[in-house]
Copies of this chain bind each other. A is one copy, B any other.
Amino acid sequence: MMNTPLTVNSMIERAESYFPKKEVVSRTSSGIHRLSYKQIGARTRSLASALEKLGVKKGDKVGTLAWNDHRHLEAYFAVPSMGAVLHTINIRLSAEHLSYIINHAEDKVLMVDAGLMPLLENIKDKLSSVEAIVVMTDEDDLPASSLQPLYSYEDLLAGGDEKYSFSNKIEEEDPAGICYTSGTTGKPKGVLYSHRGLVLHSMALCLSDTAGVSESDVCLPVVPMFHANAWGTPFAATWVGATQVLPGPYPTPQLLAELIESTKVTITAGVPTIWLGLLNELEKKSYNTDSLRAVLCGGSAAPKGMIRAFESKYGIPFIHAYGMTETTPLVILSRLKSYQQNLPEEEKLEIRSKQGTAVPGIEIKVVNDNGEAKWDGQEMGELLVRGPWIADSYYKDERSADAFRDGWLHTGDVVTIDEEGFIKIVDRTKDLIKSGGEWISSVDLENALMAHESVFEAAVVAVPDPKWQERPVACVVLKEGYKDTVSQEDLLQFLAPQFAKWWLPDQVLFIEEIPKTSVGKFLKMALREQVKERLTIQS
C-alpha cells in the first residue's frame, strides 16, 4: 500500500476542497464572526507563511494563550501543517507554571488573545525562548503593552500568502502539538501529540458508534481549546466539514444556551461543571434545544442525576466519555449496545452513567495486585490504556517512568469493568479511602449525594483516623433555596439504604464552594486541607 502519511494538513485541505461554503461561527471579545472554510483555509495558509517569516521552522514550538475562536482554530492547523508544534497553553495556570511550561517547551512564538496579555506581561522577564508575540485581536491597533516584539495577528495575515503550500516533509510520527497536564501536584507534565495520533483520533471521533461527528453536525466545543485539543473536536469537525461554533472568552451558561438555540447546535462537549451550569440556566429560562443530538461529557464523572435531568426533562441525549491529556483524549465512551436498548430505563441509566467501553482502536486493561480484574463490575483495579493516540512518555520529564510502563499508560484511575466491558471510574488511586483495610469509593458517595434534590455539588475526602486508618468526610454545596433547610442527618439517611454502613461519611460539612483545578475537576488535595482545618477548629 502507499505510504501516504496521516497528517493534520490533510484535514484542513479536505475542508477547503469539499466544504468551502460551510461556516465557523466564532465569538470573540468584539462579537460574533462567521467565516467560511474557504476563508479559514486561506487565513490558515497566510498564518503559516507569516510564522515562517517570523523564523518558525520544522519542530519549533508555537504557543497559544487563547479562548475558543476562529484564530485559535487557524493556529490549530497552521502550526502543525508547516511542520511546527502547537503548544496550547492552559490560561488558568499559575504564573509560576505558565513560565515553567513556556520555557520547558521552548516556545519560539507566542500567540495571545488581547484580553489575556496581562498573563504574559506578568511573567515576561522569566521567558527564555520566546522571540515574538502575536496578539490575536479584532482591533486595528495593538494594545499598549510591555511585551516585545509585538505583532498584530491580522497584520501578519494581511502580509501573508493565502496560497502558501503546507509542508510535504512531515512524517506521521512527527509532533504536531503539545499540551501540559495541569496536575494537582508538582510541575505540569508535557504530552506530545503526533500527526498520526491526531488523525486517528479524529477518525475515532467520527465513527457511528462513538461521537459520530458528521458534516451535518453543528459542533460546539465548550471544553477549552487549551485543554487536550478541545477533545479533538476542532480537528474532527474541520475534517468532515461540520459547522463549528466557537464560544469565545468566558462562556456563561446563558451564552451557551443562547448559542445552542441560535446556531442550532447538534453536538457539544464539556465537563460536568459546565452541564450543571447549563441545567440551572435551562431551569431559569426557556430555550429551544431541540437541535441537540448529543451532549458529550468528560473530564470527571457526571452524576446519574445530571444525565437523567438532561434526558428525561429536556430530551437531550447525554454521552459519557473518558480521557486524559495523555490520551488525546478520547479512550472510552458510553453507548448502549443494541441489545441493551430494551432494558428498563433505570438499568439503562445505570449503564450510561458508567464511562463506557474502549473506543475502536484503543485497548484497555484493569489490573490490581491479583492480576487482571474480573469483568464483574465489582473488582477494582487501575485502568491501563494502550493505542496509537496514547502518549508513550512525558516530554523531557523524568516522571514518565511512573505512568508509562510495559507499553501501557497507567492512568491512576481506579475502576471496575462489568461483564459487557463497561468501565466505571471508582476513584483516583490517590483519592480512594482506605477504611479498616477496605476501599471506599469517594466517587460513588459523591454521585449518590449529588442525586439528592438539595445538593449542588458534593466531594468526599479521606481524613486520618486512629482506629480505621482513614474515614470519609463529605463536603456539600447546597443549591440556592436549600441553605439551612437540610441537615447532616437528612443526607446520611438518604445515603443509608444505598451503602454498607461503614461506607457512610463520618461527617457532612456544608461549604460554599468546592475548590477545583484549572479544568474544573475537584481539587481533592486542597479540599483535604480545608477539611483538616475545619475539623481541627471543631475539636
Mark A residues whose CB is within 8 Å of B: 1-4, 6, 10, 14, 17-19, 21-22, 173, 192-194, 196-197, 200, 203-204, 206-209, 212-216, 239-241, 328, 335, 337-339, 357-358, 360-361, 363, 386-392, 407, 409, 420-421
The answer to whether B360 touches A203, judged by C-beta atoms less than 8 angstroms apart, is yes
The answer to whether B203 touches A209, judged by C-beta atoms less than 8 angstroms apart, is no
A169, chain B: closest CB distance, angstroms: 14
Q: How many Å lie between the Cα of A10 and that of B361 in the bound state?
A: 8
Residues of B within 8 A of A212 (CB): 208, 212
The answer to whether B207 touches A207, judged by C-beta atoms less than 8 angstroms apart, is yes
Residues of B within 8 A of A363 (CB): 4, 10
A307, chain B: closest CB distance, angstroms: 21
Residues of B within 8 A of A206 (CB): 207-209, 360
The answer to whether A2 touches B388, judged by C-beta atoms less than 8 angstroms apart, is yes
Residue ID in chain B nearest A202 by CB atoms: B360
Residues of B within 8 A of A197 (CB): 1
Residues of B within 8 A of A360 (CB): 14, 203, 206, 239-240
Q: How many Å lie between the Cα of A319 and that of B386 in the bound state?
A: 35
The answer to whether B390 touches A2, judged by C-beta atoms less than 8 angstroms apart, is yes
Residues of B within 8 A of A192 (CB): 1
Q: How many Å lie between the Cα of A337 and that of B240 in the bound state?
A: 10
The answer to whether B203 touches A361, judged by C-beta atoms less than 8 angstroms apart, is yes
The answer to whether A386 touches B2, judged by C-beta atoms less than 8 angstroms apart, is yes
The answer to whether B391 touches A2, judged by C-beta atoms less than 8 angstroms apart, is yes
Q: How many Å lie between the Cα of A361 and that of B199 in the bound state?
A: 9
Q: How many Å lie between the Cα of A386 and that of B5 in the bound state?
A: 11
Q: Determine which of B200, B209, B407 lies in contact with A240 in the assembled complex, contact meaning CB atoms within 8 Å.
A: B209
12 more CB-based (< 8 A) A-B contacts, given A1-B173, A1-B197, A208-B208: A2-B387, A2-B391, A3-B392, A6-B388, A10-B363, A18-B358, A22-B339, A200-B203, A207-B240, A208-B214, A215-B335, A241-B337
Residue ID in chain B nearest A391 by CB atoms: B1
23 A–B contacts, CB within 8 A, in A order? A1-B173, A1-B193, A1-B196, A1-B388, A1-B390, A2-B391, A2-B392, A3-B173, A3-B392, A4-B387, A10-B361, A18-B358, A22-B339, A203-B360, A203-B361, A208-B208, A208-B214, A209-B215, A212-B212, A215-B335, A215-B338, A239-B360, A240-B360
Residue ID in chain B nearest A198 by CB atoms: B1
Q: How many Å lie between the Cα of A407 and that of B212 in the bound state?
A: 31
Q: Determine which of B18, B335, B390, B420 lies in contact with A420 in the assembled complex, contact meaning CB atoms within 8 Å.
A: B18
Residue ID in chain B nearest A339 by CB atoms: B21
Number of copies: 2
The answer to whether A337 touches B387, judged by C-beta atoms less than 8 angstroms apart, is no
* Nearest 9 A/B pairs, CB to CB: A208-B214, A1-B197, A208-B212, A216-B338, A1-B194, A2-B392, A203-B203, A18-B421, A206-B207
A492, chain B: closest CB distance, angstroms: 39
Q: How many Å lie between the Cα of A338 and that of B26 in the bound state?
A: 20
Q: Assuming A14-B360, A213-B208, is B19 touching A388 (CB within 8 A)?
A: no
Q: How many Å lie between the Cα of A214 and that of B18 in the bound state?
A: 25
Residues of B within 8 A of A241 (CB): 337
Q: How many Å lie between the Cα of A392 and that of B200 in the bound state?
A: 22
A17, chain B: closest CB distance, angstroms: 6
Residue ID in chain B nearest A404 by CB atoms: B2
Q: How many Å lie between the Cα of A86 and that of B339 in the bound state?
A: 33
Residue ID in chain B nearest A193 by CB atoms: B1
Q: How many Å lie between the Cα of A209 and that of B338 in the bound state?
A: 20
Residue ID in chain B nearest A243 by CB atoms: B338
Q: Determine which of B1, B335, B386 lies in contact with A389 in the assembled complex, contact meaning CB atoms within 8 Å.
A: B1
Residues of B within 8 A of A3 (CB): 173, 388, 392
Q: How many Å lie between the Cα of A388 and that of B192 in the bound state?
A: 23
A71, chain B: closest CB distance, angstroms: 25
The answer to whether A1 touches B214, judged by C-beta atoms less than 8 angstroms apart, is no
The answer to whether A4 touches B386, judged by C-beta atoms less than 8 angstroms apart, is yes
The answer to whether B392 touches A1, judged by C-beta atoms less than 8 angstroms apart, is yes
A405, chain B: closest CB distance, angstroms: 12
A420, chain B: closest CB distance, angstroms: 7
Q: Assuming A207-B208, A421-B17, is B337 touching A215 (CB within 8 A)?
A: yes
Residue ID in chain B nearest A196 by CB atoms: B1
Q: How many Å lie between the Cα of A214 and that of B240 in the bound state?
A: 18
Residues of B within 8 A of A209 (CB): 206, 214-215, 240
Q: How many Å lie between the Cα of A71 and that of B335 in the bound state?
A: 30
Q: How many Å lie between the Cα of A363 and that of B17 in the bound state?
A: 10
Residue ID in chain B nearest A191 by CB atoms: B1
Q: Which of A1, A204, A207 has the most CB of B within 10 A?
A: A1
A361, chain B: closest CB distance, angstroms: 7
Residue ID in chain B nearest A199 by CB atoms: B361
Q: How many Å lie between the Cα of A71 and that of B176 in the bound state?
A: 43
A350, chain B: closest CB distance, angstroms: 18
The answer to whether B18 touches A357, judged by C-beta atoms less than 8 angstroms apart, is yes
Q: How many Å lie between the Cα of A212 and that of B421 in the bound state?
A: 22
A158, chain B: closest CB distance, angstroms: 28
Residues of B within 8 A of A389 (CB): 1
Residue ID in chain B nearest A422 by CB atoms: B18
